[in-house]
């Protein structure tokens, strides 16, 4: 019992001491030096909007959009297409690779480049991948998003990864050893 009393007394003293009020605020110190400004960032993303309605049908199931980009930009960028199908409402954007509105067709996009310009093609197909044979589809808008890469790592190798040594894999993938 004496031991318990001593522990409780010691605990009471510690609790009493820890409940002190803070003192008055001291004077403010001198201002520090300003840090260096970083470079202004850029996500390197460009969106090309095509706001004109267009209709695709079994006789004309493809639409092309001219983009002011080079073949190098096509080769070194991520390029995505999105569309609005009138049948499903103007608030929904669908990606131009996959099943379309209500699953009644599939959409694909591809790029073609010549010396004059770059074309982004949007084409619809029947769900089984055959030529489109359904009713006419009205599309309200189309947009192409071009995301430029900040670096390109060529992973083409002279031999399969499974035959490479640890050091060769680290060098190939730019991994610190």
pLDDT of the chain along its 177 residues, tens only?
666 566 656 655 555 565 556 678 888 888 888 877 767 666 789 999 998 899 999 989 999 999 999 888 999 999 999 999 999 988 999 999 999 988 999 999 999 987 678 999 999 999 999 999 999 999 999 999 999 988 887 766 678 888 889 998 888 888 998
Secondary structure (H, E, C), the chain: CHHHHHHHHHHHHHHHHHCCCCCCCCCCCCCCCCCCCCCCCCCCEEEEEECCCEEECCCCCEEEEEECCCHHHHHCEEEEEEEEEHHHCCCCCEECCEECHHHCCEEEEEEEECCCCEEEEEEEECCCCCECCCCCEEEEEEEEEEEECCCCCCCCCCCCHHHCCHHHHHHHCCCCC
pLDDT at position 1, please? 61
CB within 8 Å of 167: residues ≥ 6 apart = 177
pLDDT at position 55, please? 95
Dig out the tokens for 79 from the structure: 């390029």
Dig out the tokens for 62 from the structure: 């493809």
pLDDT at position 121, please? 95
pLDDT at position 12, please? 59
pLDDT at position 30, please? 86
Dig out the tokens for 61 from the structure: 């199931």
pLDDT at position 173, please? 84
Pick the CATH number of 45-148 from 2.30.110, 1.10.1670, 1.20.120, 2.60.40: 2.60.40
Q: Which of 140, 61, 77 is nearest to 111 (CA)?
A: 77
pLDDT at position 11, please? 57
**CA distance linking residue 73 with residue 6, whole number of Å:** 79
pLDDT at position 143, please? 97
């Amino acid at each position: 019992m004496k031991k318990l009393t001593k522990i409780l007394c010691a605990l009471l003293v510690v609790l009493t001491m820890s409940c002190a009020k803070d003192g008055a605020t001291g004077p403010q110190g001198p201002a520090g030096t300003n840090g260096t400004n970083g470079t202004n960032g850029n996500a390197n993303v460009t969106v090309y909007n095509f706001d004109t309605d267009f209709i695709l049908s079994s006789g004309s199931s493809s639409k092309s959009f001219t983009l002011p980009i080079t073949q190098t930009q096509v080769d070194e960028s991520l390029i995505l297409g999105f569309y609005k199908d009138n049948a499903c409402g103007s608030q929904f954007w669908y990606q131009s690779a996959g099943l379309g509105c209500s699953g009644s067709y599939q959409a694909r996009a591809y790029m073609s480049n010549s010396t004059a310009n770059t074309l982004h093609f949007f084409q619809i197909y029947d769900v089984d991948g055959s030529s489109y044979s359904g009713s006419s589809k009205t599309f309200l808008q189309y947009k192409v998003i071009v995301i430029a890469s900040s670096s390109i790592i060529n992973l083409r190798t002279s031999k399969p990864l499974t035959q490479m040594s640890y050091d060769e894999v680290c060098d190939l993938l730019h991994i610190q050893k």
